[in-house]
Structures are given as structure tokens and as C-alpha cells.
Chains A and B, each alone.
Chain A
């Protein structure tokens, strides 16, 4: 097999590629934050009576909350802020498809490239 000679990349091309990667990194990490996609899916289940008892805290728990500087009123939003684990099937299916498609592409495309590497490496010998 003929040895593959890659093209020389110009300085401008190198700078452009660096810019592409930087932009991609920022889009991937910053966009979910900007669109509000990042962060936990939690919400507060409010209670009318804001007492340690109503908040489900026994005497030991209440004394620790107070040591930490909380009152039943200020602890209410912490204690009543809950995850609601409802499985959203369409989103779960989309997530599974995206993950599987990604890994399938990754392994198949990698294998194609790997065969070129192996052919060139071992045909040289």
C-alpha cells in the first residue's frame, strides 16, 4: 500500500481549525447554560404550615438545622425542593437513540480509519 502523505496545513488553516474547536467547545458547554437546559429538574412542593414537625424533622434534625442557622421558614424551600422522577419516555428514547447512534458511528468510522493505519504500518515491513 502506498504511504499516505498528508497535505501541509497553512498557518491560516491551523488558526482556523483552532478557532473551530474553541467555538465548538464554547457552544457545547455554554449553550445548554444559556438555553436553560443545564441544571437539575427540581421544584418546591410548598407547605402551608412551616413548622419543623410539618417539615418532617424530628427534634435532633431541628436542632441541627438551627445550629446551621436555619428556621422552619428558611429551611422550608430546602426541605420541600424535590426531584420529581417521572420518566419522560420520548426524551428517554431520543437520548438512547442519540447515544447509540453516536457510539455506532464512532466505532464504525474508527474501524475504517484503523484499517488504513494497520495496512500502512504493517505493509511497510
Chain B
């Protein structure tokens, strides 16, 4: 039997410090990022049609794609330089300060846990809808999904992301198959875009609807930045993280464009805006049982892949908080055999379960988006501070993103637009969430911070930042 002793920072076995394992490559980074996000094509993005119409959903697909390209570029530069578990949390700790790091970790945990909840609800609802059995509820499917995936994450990161790679690839291929099966080069046979998106209904709310649609446009790509959570577990962070993240972003842009084209050409925008299964519905409306069943299975797989990646990412952010004593160090234990942050995984499990049963899909998605946009706002300011404190040439960067500061400015402006979009329909939720972050920040700054070892918060071998 292994005798394990836990210290504040790591777990020690027979005098050896146990850390997370460096076993992942670029394909795993791609699987983590795309796996988390791809479910957004299967549900969620289409609510942007509800807020602004079918054309608004396409416009935000492109513009929000620009936002996320900026996120991926910025993130690749900072993460290839600050390679530590926690991703943006570790970045904030080294560039802005402990309180910001604490908040960023909470953004990550909330965004991913609520995304995991959304995935589990989607999976449960999809099975119930397919079964068509009266009285059957989604509760048991939700519980089974969350518990089984938590167990998988508990058992090891390599197996978790190998599974993610396979199921994400199957779900992605299903979108490509659907696209080519409905003759995308011919209008009128299966696709009827001209008759469904007309000058009269393309933008039913006008341009204010386009701005409002930004809220759910985020869902096309939300979570791609999660690739950075694997920074401490990839073999070559400087190469794998930028490569995996940018490849993931390209993959998603293609999937988003195909998804919009097929769905907007097959169902009226009013229905598209409320359905939980736009791609599965497209499969049904194609008249092909094969496509219908393929898209049903792909919807389930995309939800599984996303929830799986979310558990992985949320647990690592929580683990990092414990390791730095921003939260009780009890959370920082690494499993002596499986080398996973098992206590963080287990702690977040009942929270996800509880919200899966009290929130509905739309609300869980909104909670997740809110935390995501707060985080992107931080990222746009963070990269400016990073370049100012350590100008190019002062430290070794794994990747340097081009056109600085343009991506940061674009990202910041689009975040402001998205805040306004959330205000249009979900303003009270935004205020409530921000008040929460404000109060918990006061708790950290005036109470919890006293348990933090100051000098240990800066672990990179960099020179002193300029201006300090």
C-alpha cells in the first residue's frame, strides 16, 4: 500500500513529490479544445437566431469567430510562455496579481461547470426525446453522465483525452457527412435557404437583434481557450498549445459555417431559435433515417466530449487555487496512483449535479457565457500588461502573436458589445453574477489572502517586470 503524505503544494510518496503527468501531445490539445466546444454546434448557437433571426446568427458566427481568433492568438502567446496548470489563472497570477488570478480561476470553474451542466441536460433531454416514452425523465441520464465522466477524469488524463479525441472526431465527421448529404451546392431539393431566410424575416429585430445575438453567438466557440488548462500535462507546451489551439479554432470555424448553412436552409428561424437539437432536427428533416440516427448519436457524443473536457478543466483550475492556498490546500492533492487532481474532481461533482437538476438548459448556458465573457475581458487587458511588463526580447516566448495590439483591442470591443447583448434580455443575471464576483473578491482580498505565501506566487524564471 502506498503511504502518501500531503503537503500544501504537492503529494509526497516515500519522499518523492508527485506532480501531474506530462503525457499529452497536440492531438490531445485539439481534442480538449474542440471537444469542449463542438457541442455548441449541436445546441446553443441557434439561440442567437431567437435573439436576432437567422441572418443575425450568421453575422455573429463570423464576428464572434474573430473574437475567438483573437482569444486563441493571445492565449497561445501567453500560455506558451506561462506553462502551468490553471491556464489563464497562472497567467493572471504572474501578470496582474493574486486577486485577479483568484477571479479568473472562478470564471473558469463557473464557465466549465455550467457548460458541463448544459451538456448533461442536453444529453438527458436528447435521450428522452428519442425514447418518446411517457413519464421518462432526464434525471437518471444526467446523473449517470456526470458521475461516469467524473470517474473517467479521476482515473487519468491520458485516457480521458484519448476518449475525447475519438468521440469528438466522430461528432465532427457527422457534421461533414450531413453537409455533403444534403447537396449544399443545390438549392431547392433539400436546402431552401431562399424561401426560409427572406428579406422580410432575415433580421426580424433589425440591427439591435444582431447585437443581441452576440450573447449566444459566443456558444459557437465557448471553451476553446480551455486548451491552456493542459499546459502542465503536455510534453511540449511551447509547440503543442499554439498548434492545438489554432488548429482547433480553424476546425470550429469550418464546422460553424457548415452548421449554420444547413440548419438555416432547413427550418424556419422561429423554430431554429428554440430547438435544443438543431443538427439532429436537420437530420430528421433530411428524410434519411441514417442521417437522423447519425446526428442523434453525434449530439450525444458531442455532449459527452464537452462535459468530459469541462470536468478536466474546472478541476485543474480548482486544483490550482488550492495549490496556491487561495482556497484550502486540501484541494491541491494529486492522486498518488492516477496523478490527477482527484479531490477537486470529487468536490465539483455534487455542485454540477445540483445545478443540473435546478437549472434549465438556457439558464445554464447563460451562466457559462457570462463567466466566459468576463474572462475574455480580462484576457484583452492581460496581454497589454504582459507586453508592457516584459517587452519582446526580454523573455523567451514559445509563440509571439502578430498584429499586437489589434487582437487585444478587437477582443475588448467585442466583449463590450457582448455585455450589452447579455443586457438585452438577461441583464439581471449579469448584474447578479458580477455582484457575486465583487463580494467574493472582497472576501479574498481582505481575508483569504493572508494565507497566501507572497513570493511563491511568482514561479517563472523571468526578470523583474518593468515598472516595479
- Give A residues with C-beta under 8 Å from B: 3-4, 6-7, 9, 14-15, 17-18, 20-22, 24-33, 37-42, 56-58, 60-61, 64-65, 67-68, 70, 75, 78-79, 81, 83, 85, 87-88, 91-92, 94-95, 98-99, 101-103, 105-107, 109-122, 124
Whether, in the assembled complex, B127 has its beta carbon less than 8 Å from a beta carbon of chain A, the answer is no
Residues of A within 8 A of B377 (CB): 103
Q: How far is the CB of B287 from chain A (nearest CB, A)?
A: 9
Q: How far is the CB of A75 from chain B (nearest CB, A)?
A: 8
Residue interface bits B322-341, CB-to-A below 8 A is 1, else 0: 00010111100000000000
Q: How far is the CB of B184 from chain A (nearest CB, A)?
A: 18
Cβ–Cβ contact A4 & B454, under 8 A:
yes
Other contacts beyond A31-B432, A117-B97: 13, CB < 8 A: A3-B455, A17-B328, A18-B327, A32-B429, A37-B428, A40-B425, A64-B267, A64-B271, A103-B377, A107-B100, A114-B98, A121-B454, A122-B464
Cβ–Cβ contact A14 & B208, under 8 A:
no
Interface residues of B in 201-232 (CB under 8 A from A): 201, 205, 208-209, 212
A102 nearest in chain B by CB position: B438
Whether, in the assembled complex, B457 has its beta carbon less than 8 Å from a beta carbon of chain A, the answer is yes
B377 nearest in chain A by CB position: A103
Cβ–Cβ contact A106 & B195, under 8 A:
no
Whether, in the assembled complex, B399 has its beta carbon less than 8 Å from a beta carbon of chain A, the answer is no
Residues of B within 8 A of A78 (CB): 270-271, 274
Cβ–Cβ contact A95 & B97, under 8 A:
no
Sort chain B's interface into a size bin: 35 or more
Cβ–Cβ contact B453 & A110, under 8 A:
no
Cβ–Cβ contact B437 & A102, under 8 A:
yes
Partner among B99, B423, B437, B457 whose Cβ is within 8 Å of the Cβ of A95? B423
Interface residues of B in 234-270 (CB under 8 A from A): 266-268, 270
Cβ–Cβ contact A20 & B434, under 8 A:
no
Given A78-B270, A114-B97, A115-B468, A106 and B441 contact (CB-CB distance below 8 Å): yes
A15 nearest in chain B by CB position: B328
Partner among B50, B268, B423, B441 whose Cβ is within 8 Å of the Cβ of A57? B268
Residue interface bits B297-329, CB-to-A below 8 A is 1, else 0: 000000000000000000000000000010111
B206 nearest in chain A by CB position: A85
B442 nearest in chain A by CB position: A105
Whether, in the assembled complex, B290 has its beta carbon less than 8 Å from a beta carbon of chain A, the answer is no
Partner among B209, B354, B439, B449 whose Cβ is within 8 Å of the Cβ of A24? B439
Cβ–Cβ contact A29 & B359, under 8 A:
yes
Partner among A6, A56, A64, A94 whose Cβ is within 8 Å of the Cβ of B452? A6
A87 to B208, CA, bound (A): 10
Partner among A22, A40, A116, A121 whose Cβ is within 8 Å of the Cβ of B362? A40
Whether, in the assembled complex, B426 has its beta carbon less than 8 Å from a beta carbon of chain A, the answer is yes
Residues of A within 8 A of B351 (CB): 22, 25-26
Partner among B99, B196, B367, B430 whose Cβ is within 8 Å of the Cβ of A113? B99
Cβ–Cβ contact A124 & B432, under 8 A:
no
Residues of B within 8 A of A3 (CB): 454-455
Which label, helix, strand, loop or mixed, suits the secondary structure of the B interface? Answer: helix
Cβ–Cβ contact A105 & B51, under 8 A:
no
Residues of B within 8 A of A4 (CB): 453-455
A20 to B329, CA, bound (A): 15
Partner among B114, B270, B363 whose Cβ is within 8 Å of the Cβ of A39? B363
Whether, in the assembled complex, B168 has its beta carbon less than 8 Å from a beta carbon of chain A, the answer is no
A17 to B453, CA, bound (A): 17
A67 to B328, CA, bound (A): 56
A103 nearest in chain B by CB position: B377
Residues of A within 8 A of B97 (CB): 109-114, 117
Q: How far is the CB of A89 from chain B (nearest CB, A)?
A: 11
B360 nearest in chain A by CB position: A39
Partner among B328, B423, B432, B440 whose Cβ is within 8 Å of the Cβ of A18? B328
Residues of B within 8 A of A31 (CB): 432
Residues of B within 8 A of A85 (CB): 205, 208-209, 212, 424-425
- Per CB-CB distance, the 10 closest pairs between chain A and chain B, nearest first, are A110-B97, A114-B97, A28-B436, A120-B455, A14-B328, A37-B428, A60-B195, A110-B100, A110-B99, A120-B454
Interface residues of B in 412-448 (CB under 8 A from A): 419, 423-441, 443, 445, 448
Interface residues of B in 376-416 (CB under 8 A from A): 377, 381
A17 to B444, CA, bound (A): 10
Partner among A29, A64, A83 whose Cβ is within 8 Å of the Cβ of B425? A83
A58 to B435, CA, bound (A): 46
Partner among A32, A58, A83 whose Cβ is within 8 Å of the Cβ of B428? A32
Q: How far is the CB of A119 from chain B (nearest CB, A)?
A: 8
A28 to B363, CA, bound (A): 13
